[in-house]
Amino acid sequence: MRAPIGIRIRRKRLELGFSQAALAREVGISSTYLNLIENNKRAIGGKLLLRISERLDLDLEALSGSNEARSIQVIEELLADPVMRGIRIEPNAIRDIVAHFPEAGVAITRLYRAYMDAMASIDVYMHRLRSDPLLSETLHLVLNRVAAIRSGAEILAGVPDLTKEERDRFIETINNESIDLTPIVRNLVGYFERTVAQQKAISPLAELDEAIIAHQNHFPRLEDLADQLRAETTSGDRWSETTLARALQERCGIECQRVTHVAGITAQHRYDAASRRFLIRTSATAATRQFQMARLYTLQSAQDALAQTVDTLGLTSDDARSLAINAMASYVAGAMMMPYEAFRNDAERWRYDIDLLAQLYNSSFEQVAHRLVTLRRKDAEGLAFGFLRADRAGRLTKRFPISGLSLPLSGYGCVLWPIYQAFGSQGFVRQVAVFPSGGRFLLIAKAVAKRASSYQEQPLVYSIMLAVDLVHADRTVYGQGLDLSHEAVPVGPSCLLCPRQDCSHRQEAFASAFAIV
């Protein structure tokens, strides 16, 4: 669905005192065409969008429609929820709500997030009640104690001719059962409190994801910081894992050690603040080692700069801020490994060949793919890529959408996407896909290992997918040999949100909250 930016143009025009005819003359179009734009009946882009933004002194990002598009997507997902069954809303009505009442769109987005968090918590509790042996045993003990107390109380209340000794014995039994019940209930309450504490990370993570997407996953201040830290850790030598290890030792007093196995290390790395040691497992790839060293150096050397960037995200909780600090440090690490200007130039030169760029920058496929998404510097942008990562179970674990590409906020995607086919392939899988909105994209996917596997470890494999507007496919090596005359594969965002009723791969029914207009 087209983002409704026409209302924003009209409001700014009236605020500045321009007539429709005057603004149309200024930007070189007819007043009739401008009227269609302001009523959201025509999409705009390219040089026309730039001329309008400059004449009205509007930030180009404000006219991209990305914020409105996200609000529309959230409302569409909300209406697809089973709880909304029977409610039918015209698609144009959703767009009008977001266009005329943008704050209402934000409010609906926040409410839907809160609802999804609550449902996630309920799912966790239901799963625990069904399958957790500790919880089952504890509840069984509680019921036994309560049954004993109730039985004793009923006898005391219902049998009037008890002797004093019998009455005292039942009272003692009730008292003992009550004493035994107290620690059991205390443990049960503590169990649920710990579960609630763990669930608090759901909302902050979703909030952070949306904040990063709102910034188009590009942070100019962090790009400058990355250049500064890279210079610090190079000192005239070629930048490498060795120079990073030396900088951590000399500037931060941290020793880097390769270890085969250490109790308590389930991840590929761990920083022990007490001993000032950074432990990295031997199964970690060279790209992972370099990235994590750069990330640790950033956390040790630039906390204030990271905090200043986090302040611009508008996060509402300490948990979200803590997650953001780590996310921003990861951003800087990627920018240190792949400096913006050089990397963008190489990407254009080699037509976005991800494997080749990974070789040039001693990086992993995923690191390069992620870095491509961040190339949004004004007047020096790279190609706009959407990014998705999925685990073997099919769950989407990372997402960065682009304009026109509808991606689910969480859960699973369309089974026809090449991101799922890549798990059974030895190399790239590419696909020309058309979405229900009519948007046509080149989708490329590849399964990648996160670490070097050993005999005792299961390989950790993800599938990475990039999406680029088909108009720009010829700027990439992956567009070579594409026969655009062939019909594109009809795909969707997910079964729940996809209106293709005749799809033979459908796994669940389309939510019918949208009236057919």
At position 40, the amino acid (one-letter code) is N
Top pLDDT among 120 and 143 is at 143
Q: Give the model confidence (pLDDT) of 25-76 as tens digits.
A: 988 999 999 888 888 778 777 778 888 888 888 776 666 666 777 788 788 8
Residue 467 banded pLDDT, cuts 50, 70, 90: very high
What is residue 369's predicted lDDT score, i.e. its pLDDT? 97
SS3 389: strand
At position 228, the amino acid (one-letter code) is Q
Pick the range with the lowest mean pLDDT from 89-103, 416-430, 473-487: 89-103
Structure tokens at 383: 């190609």
Q: Sort 266 into a burial class: Cβ within 10 Å, 0-12 / 13-18 / 19+.
A: exposed
List the domain boundaries for the chain. Answer: 6-110, 132-199, 212-337, 380-517
CATH fold, domain 380-517, is Beta-Lactamase (3.30.450)
Would the pLDDT of 197 be above 60?
no
Q: Sort 444 into a burial class: Cβ within 10 Å, 0-12 / 13-18 / 19+.
A: buried
Top pLDDT among 484 and 272 is at 272
CA dist list (Å): 439 to 62, 231, 474, 475 = 22, 42, 17, 18
Residue 249 banded pLDDT, cuts 50, 70, 90: very high
Q: What is the CATH number that goes with domain 6-110? A: 1.10.260.40
Pick the range with the lowest mean pLDDT from 184-188, 202-206, 286-290, 474-478: 202-206
Q: Are 218 and 224 in contact (CB under 8 A)?
A: no
Structure tokens at 475: 């700027």
Pick the range with the lowest mean pLDDT from 1-10, 21-30, 119-128, 432-441: 119-128
Mean pLDDT estimate for the chain? 84
Pick the range with the lowest mean pLDDT from 43-52, 189-198, 257-266, 367-376: 189-198
Q: Which CATH number fits domain 212-337: 3.40.630.10, 3.10.290.10, 1.20.1630.10, 1.10.10.2910?
A: 1.10.10.2910
Residue 193 banded pLDDT, cuts 50, 70, 90: low
What is residue 37's predicted lDDT score, i.e. its pLDDT? 85
Top pLDDT among 433 and 80 is at 433
What is residue 511's predicted lDDT score, i.e. its pLDDT? 54
What is residue 237's predicted lDDT score, i.e. its pLDDT? 65
CA distance 446 to 425: 8
Structure tokens at 367: 């690191």
Would the pLDDT of 77 be above 70?
yes
Would the pLDDT of 371 be above 80?
yes
Would the pLDDT of 199 be above 70?
no
Mean pLDDT of all residues in 136-158: 81
Residue 510 banded pLDDT, cuts 50, 70, 90: low
Would the pLDDT of 177 be above 90?
no
Q: Are 300 and 277 in contact (CB under 8 A)?
A: no
SS3 417: coil
Q: For the sheet containing 489-490, what is the strand order?
A: 396-400, 385-390, 461-469, 440-449, 429-434, 489-490
Would the pLDDT of 22 be above 80?
yes
The H-or-E segment that residue 366 falls in is helix 365-373
What is residue 134's predicted lDDT score, i.e. its pLDDT? 62
Q: Give the model confidence (pLDDT) of 284-327 as tens digits.
A: 889 999 999 999 999 999 999 999 999 999 888 888 999 999 99
Residue 401 banded pLDDT, cuts 50, 70, 90: confident
Q: Are 483 and 58 in contact (CB under 8 A)?
A: no
What is residue 201's predicted lDDT score, i.e. its pLDDT? 42
Mean pLDDT of all residues in 279-283: 86
